[in-house]
Structure 1
Amino acid sequence: MMRKRVIPCLLLQDRGLVKTVKFKNSKYVGDPVNAIRIFNEKEVDELVLLDIDASRLSRDPDYELIQEVAGECFMPICYGGGVKTLAQAEKIFALGIEKISLNTAALENIELIRQIANKFGSQSVVCSVDCKKSLFGKYTVYSHSGTRDTKLSPVEWVQKVEAAGAGEIFLNSIDRDGTQQGFDIQLIQSIVNAVHVPVIACGGAGSVADLFEPFERANVSAVAAGSFFVFHGKHKAVLISYPDLNAR
């Protein structure tokens, strides 16, 4: 049986590690390099590192921090945030990052996916898709760290980015982000059924059982979580950890 990928998703803001709830109210939870050292010790398979301010503020990636993080990390990293050109992607890959996640940049210029995939392979390009449900139950894609509603259908958008060369979809539910109330299985199923590339589901994990639900009910390739690996107990004390998934 193929091992299930359970990926910590780390959010960067002002060179610090933060956690959000529904993409708002970011709370500082520590130093990203220290967190990565802990995940090294836990022998985590993979990490996702997202700068949540870069695209929203039209800022370039923090290459110095990316280099520092890549130098400490023993596992593959997917980095996202502020990448708008092929040249920027080349620089980030040269620093030791294995995958680049595109979100706002892909919405503004889908050809960037094709350019990176043509040069580095589809496996190196992840398209991050942030979705939110309206009061009428309709899902749409959001850009700029969840601050702008593009009005695009998530299903139609993921099919377009797959055709452009994206090798993986990182699906984030804005409504479930940081709530620890479980994944939005309906949303996940719709995306998994729409594409042939692997889908990583993120947003809502609050228990080990939650982590396994998208595998069992939606056939995802992987799940990702943030709060579940950072906050513990009813008072949500900060303690970065990674569970023994074999003990389920």
Structure 2
Amino acid sequence: MLQKRVIPCLLLHKGGLYKTEKFKKPTYIGDPINAIKIFNEKEVDELMFLDIDATILHKEPNYKMIEDIAGECFMPLCYGGGVKNIEQMKKIYALGVEKISLSSQAILNPPLIGEAAGIFGSQSVMVTIDVKKDFWGKTKVFIHNGKTNTKLNPIEFVTIVERLGAGEIVINSIDNDGMMNGYDIELLKALKAVLNVPLIALGGAGKMEHIKEVFEQANVDAVACGSLFVYQGPLKGVLISYPPYEQIQTLLDGGTHL
């Protein structure tokens, strides 16, 4: 397995697989199980599934769907969406999920991070932080699918999350989501400078060069990609894909074969 990970991030919405742009305009991509079968064949590092409905609709995680996904998935699996307490986390881990991502609850109930890390281990507890620029152009932490501005500074907040026991932190750029124009390199550099736990960049990848840039310039530990692995070409035709191991290795070793 690569030291630097490249992780497909898939969004669950209305029971299917969707892709968004700036957390809006959800576009149907296909069936989650069919996507997993493709990624199994491609020998993906790991998979991340985020349910974008559960928290907004005040629903429990869809345990049946999680069970189906985990049962089909041959690689490490992370799930996030609607997780509010330890009992829910126990159920999800028991279904075969290796990591759980906390998002809104990391802000609304920060002690849950430490409690979960103490029970399940930090390596199993991830925090996904959604960020975007506010009216004044300042990058802030948002929750509820980008609708609520917490006014929190992400650079300050990640240090709190790390101190509470999160094993990994995902920074999800709402402004870059689905735009396929590259990652927010400067923000990621600033975050990486204050963190000791792995940092995962999410939001913005449109070509393999973007992955190379964010690894080299921001020194992140992993990248997560949505559009890059579900769309093909400028018209965004749906095609689930993942580059061969050798292609990623060449890319990260400084090669030019993309």
TM-score by length of 1: 0.97
What's the counterpart of residue 127 of structure 2? 127
Q: Which amino acid aligns with 1:81?
A: G
Matches within 5 A, 1:210-225: 210-225=210-225
State the 1:53 CA deviation: 1.1
What's the counterpart of residue 94 of structure 1? 94
Residue 42 of structure 1 pairs with residue 42 of structure 2: yes
What's the counterpart of residue 68 of structure 1? 68
What's the counterpart of residue 192 of structure 1? 192
CA distance in 2, matches of 1:174, 1:128: 12
State the 1:3 CA deviation: 3.1
CA distance in 1, matches of 2:159, 2:59: 28
State the 1:29 CA deviation: 0.4
Q: Which amino acid aligns with 1:79?
A: Y
CA RMSD of aligned residues (A): 1.2
State the 1:163 CA deviation: 0.7
Q: Which amino acid aligns with 1:190?
A: A
Give the match's secondary structure for 1:36.
Answer: helix
State the 1:214 CA deviation: 1.2
Percent identical among aligned pairs is 56
CA distance in 1, matches of 2:233, 2:187: 28
Q: Which amino acid aligns with 1:209?
A: E
Q: Which amino acid aligns with 1:121?
A: G
- Which stretches of structure 1, 4 residues or more, deviate above 3 A after TM superposition? none
What's the counterpart of residue 58 of structure 2? 58
What's the counterpart of residue 109 of structure 1? 109
Larger deviation: 236-245 or 34-43? Answer: 236-245
CA distance in 1, matches of 2:107, 2:56: 13
Residue 227 of structure 1 pairs with residue 227 of structure 2: yes
Give the match's secondary structure for 2:127.
Answer: strand
TM-score by length of 2: 0.94
What's the counterpart of residue 243 of structure 1? 243
Number of residues paired by the alignment?
248
CA distance in 2, matches of 1:2, 1:14: 33
CA distance in 2, matches of 1:236, 1:205: 13
What's the counterpart of residue 254 of structure 2? none
CA distance in 1, matches of 2:212, 2:145: 26
Larger deviation: 136-145 or 29-38? Answer: 136-145
State the 1:241 CA deviation: 0.3
After superposition, give the CA deviation of every residue in 1:165-223 in whole Å (9 maximum; x if it has no partner). Answer: 00100110000000000001011111111211000001000111101111100110000
State the 1:135 CA deviation: 4.4
